[in-house]
Amino acid sequence: MDIQPIRTADDHAKALRAIEALWGAESGTPDGDKLDILITLVDRYEDEHFPIEAAHPIDVIKTHMDMTGRKQADLAALIGSASRASEILNRRRYLTIDMVHKLHKEWGIPADCLVLPYELEPPQRRRA
């Protein structure tokens, strides 16, 4: 097996081509083993060179709501108040541990996606 570390963009492209050629190889065969190793190397290279930032907790909630057809009223029913739901979705109020627990338990949103620190939006100035 002639597999080398992936250090450059050219190495990455070459590994991707090799993965494409080996795709569907049966696990436990020499080609399947080579595919597994190449995928591991590509994952490591991509994690290092193309990191993906964690999503903002409020964006996670909004995306979940969009995907499941839930509305702001559903969030209000879950956390106990329409005004609180509005403040949360507009980034004017932080999620509490109780809210995170309910979102995780009732809606199945992973808690680790909701407990990331974030900044609130600055208060809007009222016009005189």
Confidence of residue 128 (pLDDT cuts 50, 70, 90): low
Extents of the domains making up the chain:
9-49, 57-114
| Phi, psi dihedral angles at 92 (to 5 degrees) | -105, -10
**pLDDT number for residue 1:** 64
Average pLDDT along the chain: 94
CATH architecture designation of domain 57-114 = Orthogonal Bundle (1.10)
Q: Where are the alpha helices (DSSP H) in 50-107?
A: 57-68, 72-79, 82-89, 97-107
Q: With beta carbons less than 8 A apart as the criterion, state whether 75 and 69 touch.
A: no
- pLDDT (0 to 100) of residue 123: 80
Q: What are the CB-based long-range contacts (under 8 Å, 24+) for 56-61? A: 56/116, 56/118, 57/95, 57/113, 57/114, 57/115, 57/116, 57/118, 58/88, 58/89, 58/91, 58/118, 60/109, 60/113, 60/114, 61/88, 61/89, 61/103, 61/109, 61/114
pLDDT tens, position by position, 11-31 = 999 999 999 999 999 999 999
In this prediction, residues 50-55 reach a mean pLDDT of: 90
Q: pTM value?
A: 0.65
Could you tell me the two tokens for 112?
A: 């680790």
